Structure formats: C-alpha cells, structure tokens
Structure 1
Amino acid sequence: MLIGAIFIAMLMMICINIPIAVALAMCGVLGLLATEGASSLVTIALDMYDGSTKFSLIAIPMFVLAGAIMNAGGITDRLINFVSAIIGFIRGGLAMVNIGVSLFFAEISGSAVADVAAMGSILIPQMKKRGYSKEFSAAVTSSSASLAIIIPPSIPMILYAASANTSVEQLFVAGLVPGLIGAGGLMFVAYAFAKRYNFPTEAAFNLPRLRETFMDALPAFTLPVIILGGIFGGFVTATEAAGLAVLAALAVSAWYGNLNLSHLRRAMLDGGIQTAVVMLLVAASVLMGGFLTRAQIPQQLAESILSITTQQWAILLILNFFFLVVGFFLHSAAAIILVIPIVIPLINSAGIDPVHFGLVVTLNLAIGQQTPPVASVLITACSVARANIWEVSKVNIWFVGVLLAVLMICTYVPAVPMFLVEYFYR
C-alpha cells in the first residue's frame, strides 16, 4: 500500500512539472520517514554525495565536454565533408551522411541530445535547402542520434553500469556490432525514401576530393582511436578514456586553428548544465534506492515474476514491454536510475547476463527518445527543423521500426552483442 502511494505521489509531482530529481528525492525521503522514522535521514546528505561521486560517473562530464570542444573546434565540419565524399553520390546521400556523422559524433559525446543539437543545426538546414522535406530531415537526424547511444561511449550505458554494478567497458564493446547493424538498417530506409521521393544526390564520386577530405579529417580520426583503442585494448578505463578524449579534442581543435573560445565557453556551460541535471538525478536516486532496498521491493518483484515464469525469453519479453512503456514517459537517465535497481535482482535470479541486459535496456530507452510525449531527442530535432512533431513521427515510424528490429535481434540472439565481449573479456 505504501509503495503504491509513494509512486502515485511521484507521478503526480512529475505531472505538475516538478523536476523529476526533486520528486524522486522527496518520495525517497517520505518512504524512509514512513518506514524507519526521522533517524534514517541523518546521513542522507552523505549518502547522496557518495552515490553521485562514483569513479565511473566522472566519465559523463568528460565526454560531454569532449563533444562540445569537437563541435566548437571545427572537427564536425571536416567529418561531414569526408563522409559526404564517400557516400554523397548515392541518391539520398546527404541523409546517409547524417547517419554516418551522427555515429561518429556519438563516439565522442555519448549523448543523443548533444548529437542532435550539434549535427542537426548543421545538416538539417542543408538537407532542407537541397529538397529534403523538413519532416524527413528531422526524423533521420533524430533516429540516428538515438541509435548512436549504443555505440561507445554512451552516457546511458555509464549510468546503467553504475546502477547495476557491472562493467562499463564490456557494455561499450557489446554495443559496437548492434550499432553498426542498426546504422545499415537506417541507411536502407533512408535510401528507400530517397528513391520514392526522388531526393537528390550530391556531387559525383571524386577520388581526388575523397583524398583531400580524408587528409583534412585525418587528425579527427585520432579521437575514436584513442577512446575505443584504449578501452578495447585494456590500456585505460572508460573514465580515463573520457579524460583523454578531452585532451585529444583540444589538441585536434588547436591543430585546425579555429577553436572559438567564446563558443567553447558557451558549450562548456551548456555541458555543465546537462551534467548537473544527470548528477542531481543520480544523487536523488540514492534516497529512493535506499527506501526500495529496505522495503525489499526488488526482491518481491523478482519473486512475483519468477512465480509466473522462469523462462528467460518470457522474462525478457515482459521487461522489454515494461521499458518501452517507461521510455514513453521518462528520460533515459531518469528511467535507468529509477528502475534498474528494482529489476537487477530479477535479472540475476533468472540467470540473464547483466551486460546483455544493459544493451537491451539502452535500446529500449533509445526508442523511448523517439516516442511522444517525452521524446527528448525527437523534440530537439523538430525544434531545429521547425517541424511539427506529429508529422515528423509519421516519417520517423519507419526508422523506429529499424530500432525495434535491432532490439529484437539483441534480445533473442545474444551472440550478436556478446561475441566481442566473450572474445575480449571472458
């Protein structure tokens, strides 16, 4: 009864526009007061501090900062030119350039919203100018950005690893192959749209231009080599790789000589605000997590579902549906922080690999970023494109279909995401 009242109170606070972190903390405090009295609140400040200063979480502001430096330093423009030289000659090639560059940018920032804000402001106006509809431009930018969060590094994966007490490096490795498969699927859908609506091609394939853009973008290619090579090679942790990414982004931007300090300052402030929002959620979740753990809610949930079925495929089906619904209403960070501590005992009891499940959760929440009413990434893309969200959603449903297909493959063919993890770590 108490649990139901706590969650209803939290939903009501969210509905009247109280920030999720504040609602989460207030409900956690109410739960602790009701179950253990005022004495349980003596150490909540220390508990919140300890929960938000885990070593793995330091990677979040570092990756956000690296993405801001990359955009301010002109690296993004050179990547766009290079990818355009490779595939721009295909019909609808600029849409495929959008997808390709989005995946690369996500390897630095780890944030889908940052990806849309940075890439969309450059590519969406160019797509509209060349005859692409604003709805299609927003849809392809939004969906590719959400897919990109399963390619390392990924802020949702970092939060999941911290919440589930599992390896963030293994999660990064698990996301690589599904991300590339999904990118291929998005490009196929973009090509089908291009053929149907006769979207334009860019300049014909030109080997000298490809060579020129490659040489111009070559310093930028050191960024994923440093991040992914360091993590996959076992030389650095994800957090250390994030710090190296910042230094590398600064060095490459300085090499190009067009690092605008005023823009960089603005980007750093925006990144700091984004990081503060996430960290406040993390700190608030400690209170709710403490209440749920002491009330043994996760254990009760595990027992309830296992009493219905012990089949892994059925449990994964139930949890997939659950996370898809949660993604409709909660931002990915809030959903991970709130829900993962509850379901992890179930995952462990059912014998499901937490790294495999982490990828399933991340994909579910990536789809949630595309589905109203919350749809944080879709709304950002629509804002940049100045397009109606419902009209964009009619186009975006085809791209969301690709994300759902990747989700099903990763859920029920675990070898797809896990074979690299087995090769490198087990």
Structure 2
Amino acid sequence: MMALGMFVGLLALILINVPIAVALGAVAMAAMVWHGGMESLLGAAITMFNGATSFPLLAIPLFVLAGAIMNSSSLSRRLIAFASALFGFIKGGLAMVNIGTSLFFAEISGSAVADVAAMGSILVPAMKKKGYPKEFAAAVTSSSATLAIIIPPSIPMILYAVMAEASVVQLFVAGIIPGVLGGGGMMALAYWYARRYNYPVEEVFSWQRVRATFKDAAWAFLLPMIILGGIFGGVVTATEGAALAVLAALFIGGVIYRELNFKHLYESMVEGSIQTAVVMLLVASSALLGHLLTEQQMPQQLAAWIASLTDNKWAVLAILNIFFLVAGLFLHSAAAIILVVPIVMPLVKAVGIDPVHFGLIVTLNLGIGQQTPPVASVLATACSIAKADMWKVTRVNLPFIGVLMALLLLVTYVPAVPMFLVDVFYR
C-alpha cells in the first residue's frame, strides 16, 4: 500500500512539473514520516550526504568539465573537418560526418546532451544549408548523440556502476563493440536515405585533405587514447582518468591550440557545475528513497514476485527491457538509473544475470528513452537547434530508433557482443 502511495505521489509531482530530484526527496520524506514518525527524519541529511559522496561519482563533473573545455577549444570544428575529409565523398556524406563526429566526441564528454549541443550547433545549420530537411538533420544529430552514453566514458554507466556496485571499467569496455555497431548501423541507414532522396555529395576524396585535417586534430585524437588507455590498462581508475582528462584538456586547449582563455574556462566551469548539481541532487534524494526501500525490503519483494512468474533469465530480461523502455518515456536517464536500478538488482542477481551485461542493457534502454517523447531530452535539444517540430522529427527518427532497438535486442540476447572484450581482458 505504501509503495503504491509513493508511486502515485511521485507521478503527481512530476506531472505538475516539480523537479524530479525534489519530488523524490519529498515523497521519500513523506513515506518516512508515515512509516516511522517525525523522528525518522533526524538522519535524513546524513543519509543524503553519504549517498552523494561516493568516490566514483567524482568522475561525472570531471568528464563534463573536460568535454566543455575541449569544446571551447574548437575541438568540434577540427573533428568535423576530419570527418568531412573521410566521409564527405559519399552520397549524404554530411549525415555520416554527423554520426562519425558523435562517435568520437562521445569518447570525451560521456553525455548525449553535451554531444547534441556541441555538434548540433555546427552540423545542423550546415546540413540545412546543403539542402537536407531540418527534420532529418535533427533526427540524425539526436540519434547519433545517444551513442555518447554507450561508448566510454559514459556518465549513465558511472551512475549505474555506483548504484549496482559494478565495475566502471568493465562497463566502459562492454560499450565499445555495441557503440561501433550502432554507429555503423546508423551510417548505413543514412546512406539509404541519401540514395532514396538524392542528398548531396560534399567534396571529392583527397588524401592530402585527410592528412591535413588529421594533423590539425591530432592532439584531440590523443586525448581519449591517453585517458581510455590509462583506464583500460589499469594505470588509473575511472575517477583518476577523469581528472587526467581535465588536465589534458587544459594543456591541449590552452598550450597546444592556444584557443582557451579565462572566459572560456569560466563558462566551462559554470556548465560543468550546473550539470553536476542536477545529477548530485538526484543522487542525494534517491539515497533517502533507497534507504526507505531497503528497510521495507521492497526490492526483495519485487524480485520474489517476478520470480514467481518465471525464473528464466531471458524472460526476466524481456520483462525488464519493457520496464526500462516505459521508464525512459517519463524519466531522464540519471533519474531512472538512480530510482530503478537499486530496486531490480536483487532480481538480476537472483536469476544469474551478469551486472555488467545488465548495465549495458539499462544504458541502451535509457538511450532509446532520450529519443522518445514526452521527455526525450536529447531529441528536444536537437529540435530546438534545428527549429523543428518534435513530432515531425520523431516520424523521421523512427528508423534510427529502430537501429537502437535492434542493437538492444542483440546486446540482450547475444551476451558475447558486449561481453567479448570484458572476458578477454578482465576474466
């Protein structure tokens, strides 16, 4: 009965546009008072503080800051120029440039919204100028940016690792093959669109231009190699790698490219602080809710109920996929991870699902949620940049969402796809 009341209360607050973090905290405190009286709130502040001070969570503001600094240093322009040299000779090449650049920028920011903001502000106007429909430009930008939460480093993966007590590094490794497959699938779909609607070729292929643009962007390419190489090689943790990313971004932007000034640094720090505050408030509020749920043994009760329906892990994965797809319609990825993952983990472990494998499934589900209204945070950002109607863009975006859905099914039911590199290097 209490669980139903909490759900109804949370939904009601969200529907009247109360911020999710505030709604979570309010519902948790109301339930605590209902169950244990006013004295149960005495430890609320300590519970929230402890929930938000996990060491792995430090990686989030650091990766966000590194991405913001590199974007202020004209990284986007250099990456786009190199991608244009590689893909511009193909029909519809600018769409492939969009996808290819997102694949690389994902290795720095770890955020789909940051990817859209950085890449979309340049590529969407360029695509519109070349004759691409604004709906198609927004759809390509939005869907390819979702790869930012599949390819390491990924902020949602970091959050999941903290909530599920899983390895951040193994999650990062598990995302590499699915991320590349997703990018290839989207490029193939973009090429099909280009052939069907006669989208333009950007330029003639030239090795000289490829070499020149690669040389111009060489330091940008070195950044993720240093960071991810250090993390995967066991030299640094994910959090230490994030700190290294900030130092490298400052050096490359300020010393090598000489395009980072104090104004840009200030703006990057403000952007990083805002994004971090939103996530950390969610984490702190969810700590209260998680404490209450643990006391009431609600996760165990949910696990027992689903286990009474089936103990087949593939059937359980199908149920959880549907559950997370529905959650993604209404919750941002961070909120969904923080709210739902602690509840379902006892079930995941009980039926023998690998937490790393499940982490990638969760990340993909919530990436799809970023493309599906009504919330669709990444899609909304792309539509705002393109000045396009969200529902018209959604119709064009459906085939790209189909690519993500196919990738989700592949990752779910062929575990070797995400787990191959993990098994080779860590098990």
TM-score (norm 1): 0.99
- Please state whether the residue corresponding to 2:175 is helix, strand or coil: helix
- Please state whether the residue corresponding to 2:217 is helix, strand or coil: helix
Contact 1:66–1:245 (8 Å) recurs in 2? yes
Could you tell me which residue of structure 2 aligns to residue 126 of structure 1?
A: 126
Could you tell me which residue of structure 2 aligns to residue 7 of structure 1?
A: 7
5 Å matches for 1:226-241? 226-241=226-241
Deviations 1:214-257 (A, max 9, x none): 11111111111112101111111110110111111111112111
Contact 2:57–2:162 (8 Å) recurs in 1? yes
Contact 1:149–1:156 (8 Å) recurs in 2? yes
Could you tell me which residue of structure 1 aligns to residue 303 of structure 2?
A: 302
Compute the displacement of 1:34 (Å): 1.8
CA distance in 2, matches of 1:360, 1:36: 36
Could you tell me which residue of structure 2 aligns to residue 200 of structure 1?
A: 200
Compute the displacement of 1:36 (Å): 2.2
Could you tell me which residue of structure 1 aligns to residue 352 of structure 2?
A: 351
CA distance in 2, matches of 1:103, 1:308: 40
Contact 1:310–1:350 (8 Å) recurs in 2? yes
- Please state whether the residue corresponding to 2:316 is helix, strand or coil: helix
Are 1:220 and 2:220 an aligned pair? yes
Could you tell me which residue of structure 1 aligns to residue 340 of structure 2?
A: 339
Question: Which letter maps to 1:91?
Answer: K
**Alignment root-mean-square deviation, CA:** 0.8
Could you tell me which residue of structure 2 aligns to residue 265 of structure 1?
A: 266
CA distance in 2, matches of 1:384, 1:296: 45
CA distance in 1, matches of 2:136, 2:240: 38
Deviations 1:339-365 (A, max 9, x none): 001000000101100000000000000
Could you tell me which residue of structure 2 aligns to residue 365 of structure 1?
A: 366
5 Å matches for 1:377-392? 377-392=378-393
Compute the displacement of 1:265 (Å): 1.9
CA distance in 2, matches of 1:65, 1:148: 15
Could you tell me which residue of structure 1 aligns to residue 322 of structure 2?
A: 321
Compute the displacement of 1:264 (Å): 3.3
Compute the displacement of 1:147 (Å): 2.0
Unaligned runs of 5+ in 1: none
Question: Which letter maps to 2:177?
Answer: V
- Please state whether the residue corresponding to 2:166 is helix, strand or coil: coil
Compute the displacement of 1:423 (Å): 1.1
Q: Structure 1 runs of 4+ off > 3 angstroms? A: none
Contact 2:83–2:100 (8 Å) recurs in 1? yes
Does the C-alpha gap of structure 1 residues 135 and 260 become closer, same or farther in structure 2, counting only changes over 3 Å? farther
Question: Which letter maps to 1:417?
Answer: P
Contact 1:32–1:291 (8 Å) recurs in 2? yes
- Please state whether the residue corresponding to 1:201 is helix, strand or coil: coil
Contact 2:109–2:148 (8 Å) recurs in 1? no
Deviations 1:14-51 (A, max 9, x none): 11111110110011111112222223221111111111
- Please state whether the residue corresponding to 1:234 is helix, strand or coil: coil
CA distance in 2, matches of 1:265, 1:384: 24
CA distance in 1, matches of 2:148, 2:48: 30
Are 1:404 and 2:405 an aligned pair? yes
CA distance in 2, matches of 1:400, 1:263: 35
5 Å matches for 1:32-181? 32-181=32-181
Compute the displacement of 1:79 (Å): 1.0
CA distance in 2, matches of 1:390, 1:267: 32
Aligned residues: 426
Say which is worse superposed, 381-390 or 2-11, in terms of deviation. Answer: 2-11
Compute the displacement of 1:263 (Å): 3.2
Question: Which letter maps to 2:278?
Answer: V
Contact 1:175–1:417 (8 Å) recurs in 2? yes
- Please state whether the residue corresponding to 2:253 is helix, strand or coil: helix
Contact 1:147–1:403 (8 Å) recurs in 2? no
CA distance in 1, matches of 2:169, 2:207: 37
Contact 1:20–1:281 (8 Å) recurs in 2? yes
CA distance in 1, matches of 2:406, 2:14: 31
CA distance in 2, matches of 1:273, 1:6: 28
CA distance in 2, matches of 1:352, 1:286: 24
Contact 1:85–1:210 (8 Å) recurs in 2? yes
- Please state whether the residue corresponding to 1:85 is helix, strand or coil: helix
CA distance in 1, matches of 2:84, 2:45: 51
Compute the displacement of 1:407 (Å): 0.2
Contact 1:285–1:337 (8 Å) recurs in 2? yes
Say which is worse superposed, 286-295 or 263-272, in terms of deviation. Answer: 263-272
Question: Which letter maps to 1:272?
Answer: S
CA distance in 1, matches of 2:84, 2:306: 50
Say which is worse superposed, 115-124 or 37-46, in terms of deviation. Answer: 37-46
Deviations 1:283-318 (A, max 9, x none): 000011011111111000000000010001100000
CA distance in 1, matches of 2:33, 2:58: 31
CA distance in 2, matches of 1:102, 1:421: 24
